[in-house]
Homo-oligomer: A and B are copies of this chain.
Amino acid sequence: MATLEDIAKVAHVSKMTVSRAINHPELVRDELKTSIFSAMHELNYRPNVAAKALVNNKTQVIKFFVLEDIDITEPYYMKLLVGIAEYLAKYQYSLQLMTDQHLDIGASDGYIITGMRDEDYDWIKRLELPVVLFGENRWRLDFVDTNNEMGTQMATRYALEQGYDRVVFIGIDVKEPFEYSRENGYIQVMQENQRMPEIHRFANHSHLAMDFIEATWSRITPNTCFICASDRLAFGIQKGILQMSPEIATDYGVIGFDGVFLDQVATPQLTTVEQPMYELGEACAELLLRKIKDNYYPLEERLLQPKLKIGGSTRKK
């Protein structure tokens, strides 16, 4: 097997820098790391993580729990997961992905958790290791999320700019912080513009949104835009409108939230607030590794900026 010296030679760095890139990658510039890693790759050098773990009294394993039903959320989490995993791999961390807390057996250095319901809090607060949640929460636990409020602010502002007379919010009927944030963003922009908010809430199923359009069609005036708390709801609203009126993009508008897969299979493609899923995953991993390294680390609530992605479901002025 290649030695540290061989790698140092190929990468044109000192042996100490190679050793540091392996054991304390956070201390080495990305540029140097890239050339050291490609030298390692070229020479087929593979540091044994188990030895490193024992020396540091660590496991080099992170657990990622998805507590929501995977059938419903599968398109949503894949890119998050890749973001987490690829960040961890750079620091020689590996991942245990789990959907059932009862499978939480082996040792690890920390947890990333998403899809928590209130009843999970007891279990989570008993964990004696660093924890980062994906998703806003009310428990004063560190988290990473999209800036949900900013997302619906962007969507609502865009709808008003396009000249829609009536701008309605279609929310998800859950008492969760992310939903309140999305509603808040909408309400704020409506108030700034002296418009009366109008909110309807449903469980997050497209057919409920579709049924709503059918049932209330006689009261839905042309030139209405629907700001939706998820692409799933937007997908249903759009289907409902298309059944009633083929002129969706000129007479009606639909804006979703998520930007993961479903917005693209809609016809026309949805205008939506796109969450930066890969970057959210990286941020979860980065925050967790930092908490593992420092014994004390103040509460961090990190919000990443979403992007308004313009599709064919809103009017182009």
Q: Which of A's residues lie within 8 Å of B, judged by CB?
A: 37-38, 40-41, 46-51, 53-54, 58-61, 66, 70-71, 74-75, 77-79, 81-82, 85-86, 88-90, 92, 94-100, 102-108, 206, 210, 235, 239, 260-262, 265, 267
Minimum CB–CB distance from A251 to chain B (whole Å) comes to: 19
Residue of B nearest to A262 (CB): B265
Pairwise interchain contact A106-B92, C-beta atoms closer than 8 A? yes
Give A89 to B77 CA distance when docked, in angstroms: 19
Given A46-B108, A51-B54, 4 other A-B residues pairs in contact with their CB atoms under 8 A = A37-B102, A41-B105, A85-B97, A89-B103
Grouping DSSP codes into helix (H, G, I), strand (E, B) and loop, the A interface class, with mixed when no group exceeds half, is helix
**A235 CB contacts on chain B under 8 angstroms:** 265
Pairwise interchain contact A46-B85, C-beta atoms closer than 8 A? no
Asked, given contacts A86-B98, A94-B94, whether A206 binds B265 with beta carbons under 8 Å apart, the answer is yes
Minimum CB–CB distance from A242 to chain B (whole Å) comes to: 10
Asked, given contacts A96-B95, A97-B95, whether A105 binds B89 with beta carbons under 8 Å apart, the answer is yes
**A46 CB contacts on chain B under 8 angstroms:** 105-108
Pairwise interchain contact B105-A96, C-beta atoms closer than 8 A? no
Give A95 to B98 CA distance when docked, in angstroms: 11
Asked, given contacts A49-B107, A70-B82, whether A96 binds B88 with beta carbons under 8 Å apart, the answer is yes
Residue of B nearest to A88 (CB): B96
Residue of B nearest to A107 (CB): B46
Pairwise interchain contact A99-B82, C-beta atoms closer than 8 A? yes
Pairwise interchain contact A49-B265, C-beta atoms closer than 8 A? no
Pairwise interchain contact B78-A49, C-beta atoms closer than 8 A? no
Pairwise interchain contact B79-A103, C-beta atoms closer than 8 A? no
Residue of B nearest to A235 (CB): B265
Give A141 to B152 CA distance when docked, in angstroms: 49
Residue of B nearest to A231 (CB): B265
Minimum CB–CB distance from A309 to chain B (whole Å) comes to: 13
**A90 CB contacts on chain B under 8 angstroms:** 103
- State which of B37, B61, B82, B102 has its C-beta within 8 Å of the C-beta of A41: B102
Minimum CB–CB distance from A22 to chain B (whole Å) comes to: 9
**A100 CB contacts on chain B under 8 angstroms:** 86
